[in-house]
Amino acid sequence: MQEHPPVELPGASPSPMVWDAWGTAENKRVLPSEVRDLLQSALGISPAPDRPEREVAPVRLTRSRLTDDRRRGFEDIVGVAYISTDDDVRLRYLGGKSTTDLLARRRGGVQHAPDAVLFPADTQQVESLLRYCSDFAIAVVPFGGGTSVVGGVDPVREWFDTVVTVSTRRLDALTHLDVESRTATLLAGVTGPEAEEMLGRHGLTLGHFPQSFAFASIGGFAATRSSGQSSSGYGRFDDMVEAMTVVTPVGTTVCGRAPASAAGPDLRQIFLGSEGTLGIVTSVTVRVRPIPRHTEYRCWHFPDFASGLEALRKLSVAPGRPTVVRLSDEAESAIDAALAGRAGQDAEQGGCTAVATFDCPDGTAAAIDAAAAADVVVIAAGGRVTDPEGARRWEAKRFDSPYLRDALLDAGALAETLETATSWSNLSAVRARVTTALVEALTGLGTPPIVMCHVSHVYATGASLYFTVVCAAAPDATAQWTTAKRAATAAIVDSGATVTHHHAVGRDHRSWMPDEIGPVGSAVLRAVKVAVDPAGILNPGKLIP
């Protein structure tokens, strides 16, 4: 077979994510002594002494099935340098970053890899690729930052003999900026930090900061209806989208023509959240805003979760509501205090803590006034104002949790998260049912867990619930978490909450989609799939029930 030059990932960060953990190698976390003590006292886990590097089990990738003829077809579209079947490249595209993803990679053995990775340069090349793949029945997995935690970018083959991953990494530019209208058009491969850098040169910000911010892409934000930590003030990503270009196997569509329209159903909503099953997003026009000139910080303490929820419910409809607001339950508040060396302060009193920020684009007065008004709401709900440094500490470390998850896995703990959303009147019941389901499932397996929960996205009618679970890892930790996740998801569905608030559907939640959208909704999704992807090549095994 002809030799081909190795692919250098175009536009890749100097420190791309490692293949078997979250983030970059240089940012790997060592398990803090406070966490070691907590694992020992609460879960009976005695972490081994730190090693300079974690031992990596031998890995073998599935053999590439790409034929020479098909390789030449792809080369004609993207160029010889922008297709790779090399194992060192395919290794980076095995899938996402859920705990079960990482457990599979750490076990070693055979790993299911795409047959090739393609790096198109523009919308036209993406359109040619999809047309070619549809003609020759080649499955296509769209790939942005690779941060999915629900199996959304797994190279599922199903009945296709060939599966390729299409990376949007070369689509990495700001192509249009309308300062007067405050909109910007960004190509799909632009990452969160790149978007902020590009917009920051003009004194603007997107204001979208999910935990995946450092690596996730604009196209991925749209395809999964991402929700960032500033959603209370700036909205979810789908709220920010003015227009988007989407390439399907039958052609390219541009959805969104004006700030508002009555010209039939909003077709943006067909593709927002479609997770690469209906098309590949190549550009997104988003609303932007001036970089805040001042941010006011608040930290509040509540006697219990119920009083905290009452305060957040009222703040969700307040005129100057927080840009960021996050309420931790009793378990999460106590652990956060212990890890921060504050166990002798609020943790001894029990209760819950909340952090909030108030951004002001024009100066300090509006932010100060909004924070002071929020304090009144908090106090009326039974809470009190505490040291705002707690909010600053949270902000400084808000992207660290996935690194800590990796260190916990290395220490013999199972650590994973799940999330949902429901109405204000149903929040407490959902939290109780999901917590009970997790505790019963894992205790039944002989690994009683710590279950923590927080609210970090609020709306006029309800809010999100984000659960973090830590317990001793069983010999088969994948089966252990699968059992727990199934029980928790059943509790979510049975209680009338959504199966996912922002993690998306992917493979993990697909079987619950009929419960989520019903038979008519399922039929609508399948009909749209047939219309835009008649050969069914796009992201098989995800989302569509």
What are 78-91's pLDDT values in tens digits? 999 999 999 999 99
Q: Angle at Cα 327 formed by Cα 326 and Cα 333, nearest 5°?
A: 120
Can you give the pLDDT at residue 1?
Answer: 27
Question: What's the rounded Cα separation, in Å, for the pair 389 and 337?
Answer: 13
| CATH code of the region 174-290 | 3.30.465.10
Specify the CATH class of 54-167 in words.
Answer: alpha beta
3-state secondary structure of 519: helix
Can you give the pLDDT at residue 364?
Answer: 82
What would be the CATH architecture of the domain defined by 401-504? 2-Layer Sandwich (3.30)
Can you give the pLDDT at residue 108?
Answer: 87
Name which of 447, 326, 413 is nearest 35 in CA terms: 413
CB 19 within 8 A of CB 129: no
Is 51's pLDDT higher than 60? no
pLDDT band at 330 (very low <50, low <70, confident <90, very high): very high
CB 240 within 8 A of CB 285: no
Which of 57-61, 253-257, 393-397 is the least confident region? 57-61
* Whole-Å CA distances, 269 to 33, 197, 265, 278, 506: 47, 28, 8, 12, 17
Which of 42-46, 254-258, 376-380 is the least confident region? 42-46
Question: What's the rounded Cα separation, in Å, for the pair 299 and 367?
Answer: 15
| Positive/negative CA dihedral, 282, 283, 284, 290 | positive
pTM of the shown model: 0.94
Can you give the pLDDT at residue 34?
Answer: 83
The full set of domain ranges for the chain reads 54-167, 174-290, 294-396, 401-504
Can you give the pLDDT at residue 337?
Answer: 85
Can you give the pLDDT at residue 122?
Answer: 98
Beta bridge partners of residue 357, listed in sequence order: 297, 324
Percentage of residues of the chain with pLDDT beyond 90:
85
**What is the residue-averaged pLDDT of the chain?**
93
CB 298 within 8 A of CB 305: no
pLDDT band at 424 (very low <50, low <70, confident <90, very high): very high
Residue, of 56 and 72, whose pLDDT is higher: 72
Burial, 285: exposed, middle or buried (Cβ in 10 Å; 0-12, 13-18, 19+)?
Answer: buried
Write out pLDDT tens, residues 451-484. Answer: 999 999 999 999 999 999 999 999 999 999 999 9
Write out pLDDT tens, residues 358-368. Answer: 998 877 888 99
Question: What's the rounded Cα separation, in Å, for the pair 327 and 349?
Answer: 16
pLDDT band at 341 (very low <50, low <70, confident <90, very high): low
Q: Angle at Cα 269 formed by Cα 266 and Cα 274, nearest 5°?
A: 150
Express the helix, strand and coil content of the chain in percent, nearest 5 each. Answer: 40, 20, 40
Q: Over range 394-419, report the average pLDDT.
A: 93
CB-CB neighbours of 530 under 10 Å: 11
Can you give the pLDDT at residue 346?
Answer: 47
3-state secondary structure of 299: strand
Can you give the pLDDT at residue 363?
Answer: 72
pLDDT band at 50 (very low <50, low <70, confident <90, very high): low
Say which residue the tokens 């009970």 belong to.
436
Write out pLDDT tens, residues 145-162. Answer: 999 999 999 999 999 999
Name which of 164, 143, 289, 162 is nearest 216 in CA terms: 143
DSSP 334: H
Specify the CATH class of 294-396 in words.
Answer: alpha beta
Token code pair at residue 300:
């509040």
Can you give the pLDDT at residue 472?
Answer: 96
Q: Over range 342-357, report the average pLDDT.
A: 73
